[in-house]
Amino acid sequence: MDIFLQIIISGITLGAMYAVGTIALSLLWGTLGMMNLAHGAFIALGGYAAYFCMSVLGASWVFALPFALVAGVVAGYLMYHLVVRWMYERREFGVDIIIATVAIAALVENGILNVAGPEAKRQPFRVSGGLDVGNVVLPYQTLLTVFVAIVLMLVVGAIVSRTKLGQVIRAVSQQQKAAQLMGVDVKRSFARAMMLAGAIAAISGVLVTGATQLFPAVGFDATLKALVICIIAGLGHLRGAILMAFLLGLFEVAVQYIFGQRFGFPAMLALVIAVLIVRPYGLFGRETVERV
């Protein structure tokens, strides 16, 4: 019973972190049709921004998340204006941008390596201790992670469904030409979507590094998993991706408990392969016909 509860708690925590990552990826896939493999760079950036804010500047923990958020927004803005806007109109954008974002990820990772050094650091934005629930200890860090992740999802959900920015993001992702014909500045909406995705990734970076450690390549694992979840759910299907994030989080933790730590990720990938064989467009995705 305790083990079961432990699996549920760990699974949900992991799922919450995955969900935040998948939202950022789905957002960019939906609006720009771009696979952002620099997602991990944003995660690392967010983690280091919080670290810089608290450990280097000595600021209160209150400023850590806002500071990471601003770093993410700036990173998204720069990525759009320095890279994406120059490539978008090309026919091979979908492939080119994957390579470009891998390059960006490598640049950011090595930049951090040079500035902050290779050694793993402790994320200062974290809480210690825990809450006793029966025989299970519920770490405060876990509660914080789940809380921030849920708030983040609600905020993003509200932005997408209720604001003018959200209206534009949905319009552009559903029917870009028509959006233009209604007077929507599609390029500006791209920049904004990237800023939003950057902010989400950076905040998730603070959470991820709080749960583990801070090192330059910290975002790699999270990117890979977010990517896997997006694909398994069906690219661009946001609600499906969030659901899958939690299910896979639980699945991974359950496999780890039952078969051992090292089987978690391979089991997840095996599941993905199985899903893709049966439903190539993902569990929630719709079959699409691409005209060439």
Partner 1 sequence: MAGDALKLSAVTIGYGRRQVVHRVSLALPEGQVIGIIGPNGHGKTSLLMGISGLVPLWSGQIYLDGVAIDSVPAFERVGLGLVQIPQGDLVFPDMTVEENLMLGGYLAQGRAEIERRLAQVYDLFPRIAERRPQIARTLSGGERRMLGIGRGLMTEGRVMLIDEPSLGLAPKVIDQVYEVIAKLRMVSPSVLIVEENPNRLKEIADRIYLMDNGEFVWNGTPDELGKNSELLSTYLGA
Per CB under 8 A, residues contacting partner 1 are 167-168, 170-171, 174-175, 177-186
- In the complex, least distance from residue 167 CB atom to partner 1, rounded to whole angstroms: 7
Least distance from partner 1 to the Cβ atom of residue 47, Å = 34
Q: Which is nearer to partner 1, 148 or 168 (CB)?
A: 168
CB of 150 to partner 1, least distance (A): 24
Q: Which is nearer to partner 1, 114 or 174 (CB)?
A: 174
Nearer CB in complex with partner 1: 53/242: 242
Q: In the bound complex, what is the minimum distance in angstroms from residue 185's beta carbon to partner 1?
A: 5
Cβ neighbours for 21, distance < 8 A, ≥ 6 positions apart: 39, 43, 201, 204, 222, 223, 225, 226, 229, 245
- Please spell the DSSP secondary structure of 45-63, one letter per residue: HHHHHHHIIIIIS---GGG
Contact 125, 64 (CB under 8 A): yes
C-beta closer to partner 1: residue 243 or 272? 243
Measured from the CB atom, the residue of 56 and 178 that comes closer to partner 1 is: 178
- For the CB of residue 290, give the shortest distance to partner 1 in the complex, in Å: 16
Looking at beta carbons only, is 158 or 182 nearer to partner 1?
A: 182
CB of 168 to partner 1, least distance (A): 8
In the complex with partner 1, the residue whose CB is nearer, 1 or 181, is 181
Write down the least CB distance from residue 286 to partner 1, Å. Answer: 10
